[in-house]
Amino acid sequence: MTESSSTTLAPEKVEVQKGWGGQSLKRKEDKRLLQGEGVFVDDVKRHGMGYLHFVRSPYAHAHITRIDVSAAEAMEGVYGTLTGEEVAALTEPFFQISSVPGANIKDYALAVGKVRYVGEAVVAVVAETRELARDASELVEVDYEPLPALVDARQAQEPGAPVLHDDAGGNLMWSGLYSWGDVDSAFAEADRVIEIDELHFHRFNSTPLECDGALVEFNRGVEQWTIHTNNQFPGFAAIMMGPAMQVGLDKLRFVTQDIGGGFGNKITSHPQLVVCCLLARKLNRAIQWTEWRTDFHMSMSHGNERWFQETKVAVSSDGTLLGFKTKALDDAGAWLRYEPLGGVIWAQVTPGMYRWRHIELEFTQVATNKAPVSPNRGYSRMQHLWFTERIIDIVAHELGLDPVEVRKKNYIRAEDMPYETPNGCVYDSGDYARMLDLALELIGYDGLGARREQAKANGKLLGVGIGSTLDSGTNNFGQSRMINPELQFSGNNEVATVKLDIFGEIVVTLGTTPQGQGHETTAAQVVADILKCSPDDVHVRAGHDSYWNSHAGFSGTYASQFAVTGLGAVKGATEMLRDEIFKLAGAVFGGVPAEALELADGGIRIKESPDAFLPFMACGAIINANNAGLPEDLDVTLNCRYVYRPPFQVPDVEKKFGNLTLTYAAQIHVAVVEIDPETGYYEIVDYAAVDDCGKRINPQIVEGQVMGATAQAIGAAMHEIYEYDEDGNLLTPNFYDYHVPHALDMPPLATGAIESPSPFTPLGTKGMGEGGGAGIHAISAAIQDATGKTVTNSHNPYQRVWELLQ
Partner 1 sequence: MDVSVTVNGTTYARDVEPRKLLIHFLRDDLDLTGSHVGCDTGNCGACSVLVDGVLVKSCMLLAVQANGASIETVEGLSENGELTPLQQSFNEHHALQCGYCTPGMLMSATALLRENPSPSEDEIKKALQGNICRCTGYWNIVEAVKAVGK
CA angle 320, 356, 393 (to 5 degrees): 60
Residue closest to 324 by CA, chosen among 176, 467, 186 = 186
Contact 418, 428 (CB under 8 A): yes
- Full DSSP string of 569-586: HHHHHHHHHHHHHHHHHH
- Answer for which of 12, 16, 18, 35 binds partner 1 (CB under 8 A) is 35
- Answer for which of 118, 127, 711, 805 binds partner 1 (CB under 8 A) is 711
Residue count, binding to partner 1 (CB under 8 A): 60
- Under the binding rule (CB under 8 A), the answer on residue 667 touching partner 1 is no
107 vs 258, beta carbon nearer partner 1: 258
Q: Report the nearest approach of partner 1 to the CB of residue 261 (Å).
A: 5
228 vs 281, beta carbon nearer partner 1: 228
Contact 692, 434 (CB under 8 A): no
- Answer for which of 143, 734, 788, 799 binds partner 1 (CB under 8 A) is 734
- Under the binding rule (CB under 8 A), the answer on residue 310 touching partner 1 is no
Residue closest to 367 by CA, chosen among 328, 327, 326, 330 = 330
27 vs 281, beta carbon nearer partner 1: 27
- Under the binding rule (CB under 8 A), the answer on residue 231 touching partner 1 is no
Which range, of 86-94, 285-293, 330-338, 433-441, touches partner 1 by CB under 8 A? 285-293
366 vs 730, beta carbon nearer partner 1: 730
Sequence-distant (6+) residues with CB within 8 A of 590 are none
Show the binding pattern over residues 128-157: x = contacts partner 1 (CB under 8 A), - = does not. Answer: -xxx--------------------------
Would you give the DSSP letter of residue 652?
B
Q: Report the nearest approach of partner 1 to the CB of residue 249 (Å).
A: 27
Which range, of 87-95, 209-217, 530-538, 593-601, touches partner 1 by CB under 8 A? 209-217
Q: Report the nearest approach of partner 1 to the CB of residue 711 (Å).
A: 3
- Answer for which of 703, 755, 770, 785 binds partner 1 (CB under 8 A) is 703
Q: Where are the beta strands (DSSP E) in 202-246?
A: 213-219, 224-229
- Under the binding rule (CB under 8 A), the answer on residue 37 touching partner 1 is yes
Which range, of 277-285, 516-524, 588-596, 632-640, touches partner 1 by CB under 8 A? 516-524
Would you give the DSSP letter of residue 547?
G
79 vs 263, beta carbon nearer partner 1: 263
Which range, of 423-431, 443-451, 736-744, 782-790, touches partner 1 by CB under 8 A? 736-744
- Answer for which of 33, 502, 599, 653 binds partner 1 (CB under 8 A) is 33
Q: Report the nearest approach of partner 1 to the CB of residue 31 (Å).
A: 7
Sequence-distant (6+) residues with CB within 8 A of 248 are 242
- Answer for which of 163, 193, 224, 292 binds partner 1 (CB under 8 A) is 292
CA angle 611, 614, 615 (to 5 degrees): 115
Q: At what angle do helices 773-787 and 381-399 cross, to 10 degrees?
A: 20
- Under the binding rule (CB under 8 A), the answer on residue 518 touching partner 1 is yes
35 vs 488, beta carbon nearer partner 1: 35
Q: Of 336-355, which residues contact partner 1 (CB under 8 A)?
A: none
Give me the residues paired with residue 82 across strands.
124
Show the binding pattern over residues 42-61: x = contacts partner 1 (CB under 8 A), - = does not. Answer: xx-x----------------
Sign of the dihedral defined by the CA atoms of residues 619, 624, 625, 626, in that order: positive
Sequence-distant (6+) residues with CB within 8 A of 532 are 599, 600, 601
Rounded CA-CA distance 342/340 in Å is: 5
Rounded CA-CA distance 255/661 in Å is: 28
Helix, strand or coil, per DSSP, at residue 229 = strand
Which range, of 61-69, 154-162, 466-474, 731-739, touches partner 1 by CB under 8 A? 731-739
220 vs 742, beta carbon nearer partner 1: 742
Q: How far is CA 198 from CA 175, 186, 311, 387, in A?
A: 19, 22, 7, 10
Contact 474, 646 (CB under 8 A): yes
Rounded CA-CA distance 223/277 in Å is: 11
Q: How far is CA 797 from CA 214, 298, 715, 779, in A?
A: 36, 21, 10, 11
- Under the binding rule (CB under 8 A), the answer on residue 31 touching partner 1 is yes
Contact 780, 670 (CB under 8 A): no
- Under the binding rule (CB under 8 A), the answer on residue 740 touching partner 1 is yes
Q: Report the nearest approach of partner 1 to the CB of residue 133 (Å).
A: 12
Which range, of 26-34, 180-188, 312-320, 500-508, touches partner 1 by CB under 8 A? 26-34
Rounded CA-CA distance 367/335 in Å is: 7
- Under the binding rule (CB under 8 A), the answer on residue 741 touching partner 1 is yes
10 vs 39, beta carbon nearer partner 1: 39
Rounded CA-CA distance 745/738 in Å is: 14
Show the binding pattern over residues 764-783: x = contacts partner 1 (CB under 8 A), - = does not. Answer: --------------------
- Answer for which of 40, 613, 681, 802 binds partner 1 (CB under 8 A) is 40
Q: Report the nearest approach of partner 1 to the CB of residue 772 (Å).
A: 9
- Answer for which of 347, 660, 749, 782 binds partner 1 (CB under 8 A) is 749
Contact 306, 251 (CB under 8 A): no
Q: What are phi and psi of 383, to 5 degrees?
A: -60, -45
Rounded CA-CA distance 339/169 in Å is: 18
Rounded CA-CA distance 472/350 in Å is: 11
Contact 254, 545 (CB under 8 A): yes
Q: Report the nearest approach of partner 1 to the CB of residue 318 (Å).
A: 39
- Under the binding rule (CB under 8 A), the answer on residue 670 touching partner 1 is no
Rounded CA-CA distance 532/598 in Å is: 9
Rounded CA-CA distance 638/664 in Å is: 35
Q: Report the nearest approach of partner 1 to the CB of residue 210 (Å).
A: 5
23 vs 497, beta carbon nearer partner 1: 23
Rounded CA-CA distance 772/710 in Å is: 5
- Answer for which of 34, 89, 222, 457 binds partner 1 (CB under 8 A) is 34
Rounded CA-CA distance 306/203 in Å is: 8
- Answer for which of 106, 200, 293, 541 binds partner 1 (CB under 8 A) is 293
204 vs 648, beta carbon nearer partner 1: 204
Q: Report the nearest approach of partner 1 to the CB of residue 36 (Å).
A: 2
- Under the binding rule (CB under 8 A), the answer on residue 294 touching partner 1 is yes
Q: Report the nearest approach of partner 1 to the CB of residue 41 (Å).
A: 11
- Under the binding rule (CB under 8 A), the answer on residue 29 touching partner 1 is yes
Contact 445, 750 (CB under 8 A): no
Q: Report the nearest approach of partner 1 to the CB of residue 139 (Å).
A: 17
Q: What are phi and psi of 620, to 5 degrees?
A: -60, -40
Rounded CA-CA distance 797/776 in Å is: 12
Residues that bind partner 1 (CB under 8 A): 24, 26-27, 29-40, 42-43, 45, 129-131, 206-211, 258-263, 290, 292-294, 515-518, 700-701, 703-704, 707-708, 710-712, 734-736, 740-744, 746, 749
